[in-house]
């Protein structure tokens, strides 16, 4: 599986995984600063951006395996991996299978909990909506809600950019990943068993990953570094850029 990626800088490998209906461009505001200290690698997950979608049905574990094989191809045997939302799910699946490869992981607006029944029903509604209305209509209704309401006006250009990226997602990718997220297993056992540091970045106004889940999750790792930002939704790389960037930078330094 060919994976499209960009890299910048030298030093310890830091892999940043994007979220659902995003591409590696979501990290554009972070790369230059982080690349002053680290080898920053930002892939497009399979099916997004310039990376082809796997054939047939696939799971989050399958995507994690593809990321592992890709890193092997780059001769990277140790890295810090940080994932936004869906990227966090992939990171946890990776950590479940290949903990020895990791110096630390980051859950950036993500969760180790599986979908509950309500969330699974919501995923199914998403699939039906996309089949009926199309990706573009979904993107323009879905993406703005990821930002806290009071931040949307000030971040209008960022919201529109993320919407435009999401609108370019292939329908097969959107539906395939929605199913994969719906069916992913609980990974709280991974958080509890990891011996490397775990970064948790969250927004107190995130409607995708409720703050109550973060409070429960932050107690699980042996070594947790937790940042909860006030008046931030699901998109801390825009809504609290400087604080989020510093959190990532300090975390990687702590891990290595």
- Which residues have C-beta within 8 Å of that of residue 67, sequence separation ≥ 6? 3, 15, 17, 43, 45, 90, 94
pLDDT category at 54 given cuts 50, 70, 90 is confident
Residues 6+ away with beta carbon under 8 Å from 203: 109, 148, 211, 228, 229, 231, 232, 233, 234, 235, 236, 239, 240
Every domain of the chain and the residues it spans? 5-115+185-255
Asked whether the beta carbons of 148 and 231 are under 8 A apart, the reply is yes
DSSP 45: P
Q: What mean pLDDT do residues 139-167 have?
A: 97
Tell which CATH classification among 3.90.1200.10, 3.40.50.1820, 3.40.50.1390, 3.40.50.1860 matches the domain 5-115+185-255.
Answer: 3.40.50.1820
Residue 114: per-residue pLDDT = 97
pTM passes above 0.95? yes
Residue 256 has pLDDT above 80, yes or no: yes
For the chain, give the mean pLDDT. Answer: 97
The pLDDT of 207-234, averaged and rounded, is 96
HEC letters along 170-216: CHHHHHHHHHHHHCCCCCHHHHHHCCCCEEEEEECCCCCCCHHHHHH
């Amino acid at each position: 599986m060919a994976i499209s990626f960009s890299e910048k800088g030298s030093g310890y490998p830091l892999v940043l995984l994007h979220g659902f209906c995003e591409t590696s461009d979501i990290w554009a505001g972070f790369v230059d600063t982080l690349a002053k200290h680290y080898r920053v690698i930002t892939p497009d997950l399979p099916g997004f951006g310039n990376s082809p979608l796997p054939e047939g049905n696939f799971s989050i574990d399958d995507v994690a395996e593809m990321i592992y094989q890709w890193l092997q191809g780059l001769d990277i045997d140790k890295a810090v991996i940080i994932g936004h939302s869906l990227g966090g799910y992939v990171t946890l699946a990776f950590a479940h299978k290949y903990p020895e490869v990791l110096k630390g992981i980051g859950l950036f607006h993500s969760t180790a909990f599986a979908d509950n029944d309500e969330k699974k029903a919501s995923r199914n509604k998403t699939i039906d909506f996309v089949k009926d209305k199309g990706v573009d209509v979904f993107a323009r209704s879905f993406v703005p809600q990821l930002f806290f309401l009071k931040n949307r006006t000030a971040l209008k250009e960022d919201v529109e950019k993320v919407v435009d990226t999401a609108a370019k997602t292939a329908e097969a990718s959107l539906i395939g990943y929605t199913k994969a997220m719906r069916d992913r297993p609980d990974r709280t056992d991974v958080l509890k068993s990891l011996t490397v540091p775990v970064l948790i970045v969250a927004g107190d106004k995130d409607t995708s990953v409720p703050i109550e889940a973060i409070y429960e999750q932050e107690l699980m790792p042996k070594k947790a570094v937790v940042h909860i930002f006030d008046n931030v939704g699901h998109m801390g790389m825009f809504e609290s850029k400087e604080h989020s960037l510093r959190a990532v930078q300090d975390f990687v330094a702590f891990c290595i």
